[in-house]
A = this chain, B = another copy of it.
Amino acid sequence: MNEIKIFSPATVANVACGFDVLGFCLDSVGDEMLIRKIDKKGIFITKVEGFDLPYETELNVAGVSALAMYEAAKPDCGFEIEIYKKIKPGSGIGSSAASAVGSVFGMNELLGRPYNKTQLTEFAIKGEALASKCEHADNLAPAMFGGFTLVKSMSPLEILEIPSPDDLYATIIHPQIEIKTSEARAILPKEVALQNAITQWANFGSLIHALHTSDFELIQRSLNDVIVEPFRSQLIPHYHDVKNEVLKAGALGAGISGSGPSIFSLSKGLKTAMNVADAMKNVYAKTHIDFDIHITKINTEGIKIL
Give A residues with C-beta under 8 Å from B.
17-22, 150-153, 158, 160, 162, 188-194, 197-198, 200-209, 212, 218, 221-222, 227
Contact = CB atoms under 8 A, between A and B. Distances in A.
Contacts of A191: 191-194
Given A20-B198, A197-B227, A198-B20, A150 B204 contact: no
Contacts of A218: 160
Q: How many protomers of this protein does the assembly include?
A: 2
Nearest first, the 6 closest Cβ-Cβ pairs linking A and B are A201-B201, A197-B197, A191-B191, A208-B208, A21-B202, A212-B212
11 contacts: A19-B201, A21-B198, A151-B202, A152-B203, A152-B205, A153-B221, A160-B205, A194-B227, A201-B205, A208-B212, A212-B212
Given A205-B204, A208-B209, A209-B160, A192 B190 contact: no
Contacts of A20: 198, 202
B201 A194 contact: no
Given A190-B193, A190-B194, A197-B197, A205 B19 contact: no
Chain B CB within 10 Å, residue with most, of A20, A204, A209:
A209
A9 B113 CA distance: 52
